[in-house]
Chains A and B, each alone.
Chain A
Amino acid sequence: MKVGVSNVGWPLINSGEGFYVYGVARANEAPAPQVQGIHQGPVSFIESSGLRAVVSRVPLSELVGEALAEQVRDSGWLEEKVGRHHAVVKAVMNMQAILPFKFGVVFSSQVRVVEMLASKQTGFLSCLRMLEGKEEYGVEICCDPRIVKQHILDNDQSLALQRRRLEESPGKAYLLRRRLEVSLSDKVKTEARNWVNQALERLQGYVSSANSDVASSASVRGSLLEGRSYLVEQGKKGDFFAQLRDLQGDLEEKGLSIEVTGPWPPYSFASLADEGAV
């Protein structure tokens, strides 16, 4: 397991306090959220360049090397920290648009945070403008292969023909049954994919991004065919959900289901054009 803190372009940091950064928002009157930070202490803002970084203090010594690795191995450390990161972002989101950072960003001093705000000001502001008044929703399309199979058997003409032949020629039963099984399993795959594509087409009017492989290769709810995140304007939320309800109705009898999660902070759409540069 690889766990650790990498120090980037600054004297080695292994003592004292640093600032964990949850995200960036526009500097305004909204107060700091009353939630616990990633390391117990309160959440506050560091403001500069018309922006505010949402931060809390963290002891750098606890984030270094083997001490951290031990914590992660022995307990739900990561889940707790991820949960707190999310709780802070969500609390800010309830008051104003926020650009959530990926988990794990720590600065060694207030000055360094201010420098970061200044150097990325243009990118932050334009991304915040893009996200203002919008919410992220997760949409997952799952399938129940049994129902999909039955639906295809009931509706596909060429399979019905193969089935009749099977009943009429018991002598060739093995071969015909084998052939029927192969055609059926091919049909299940291609048809289910077609239905998903048709569903996605009907949501084309909304900005979307594919969820990462972690989520799509591992679903709690049966066989996941598609996982996407959608960025939805407040004013179009009603339409979006109506559209999803329609889709749900159409897909249900075919053995597909739609799961929606959210509203999420716009994690999937928070990115800067010059991402990766210091």
Chain B
Amino acid sequence: MPEDGLDLTLLELLDRVLDKGVVIRGDAVISVADVDLLYIGLQVLLGSVDKVAEFRLPDGARVAW
């Protein structure tokens, strides 16, 4: 069982950094709101479009970041 910090998956990273953490309204907020972005990342991660299809959410599903 991994006890170090190396076993990070991109999904868990994206989940935490984009969805968790203290919400503060700055003077400007970089807002990124579309689940398509996840696929970009997963393509980078897996290098395979076939694999990425497994993560596709139902059409129209939106995730508010």
Chain A interfacial positions (CB closer than 8 Å to B)? 1-10, 13, 18, 21, 23-24, 60, 63, 68, 72, 76, 78-79, 82-83, 85-86, 90, 99-108, 112, 116, 120, 127, 138, 211-215, 217-220, 241, 244-245, 248, 258, 260-264, 267-268, 270-272, 275-276, 278
Contact = CB atoms under 8 A, between A and B. Distances in A.
A72 B26 contact: no
Contact of B38 (A21, A116, A218, A260): A218
A7 B31 CA distance: 10
A105 to B, nearest CB: 4
B44 A76 contact: yes
Nearest to B16: A267
Interface residues of B, number: 44
8 closest Cβ contacts across the A-B interface?
A: A104-B30, A102-B21, A267-B20, A267-B16, A218-B55, A108-B27, A105-B26, A215-B15
A8 B12 contact: no
25 contacts: A13-B28, A76-B44, A78-B32, A79-B14, A82-B13, A90-B5, A100-B21, A101-B23, A101-B24, A102-B18, A102-B22, A102-B23, A103-B32, A106-B29, A108-B28, A112-B27, A116-B26, A138-B12, A212-B20, A214-B14, A214-B15, A215-B12, A220-B9, A268-B16, A271-B22
Contacts, number: 179
Contacts of B3: 241, 260
A5 B31 contact: yes
Contact of A268 (B9, B10, B20, B27): B20
A253 B57 CA distance: 31
B17 to A, nearest CB: 5
Contacts of B59: none
A60 B27 CA distance: 11
Contacts of B63: 212-214
Interface string B28-60: 111111111110110010000000001101000
Nearest to A237: B3
A193 B33 CA distance: 32
B1 A106 contact: no
A106 B18 CA distance: 14
A76 B64 CA distance: 20
Nearest to B19: A212
B1 A261 contact: no
Nearest to A272: B22
A177 B16 CA distance: 45
B29 A241 contact: no
Contact of A1 (B14, B18, B23, B34): B34
Given A1-B37, A78-B40, A241-B3, A270 B30 contact: no
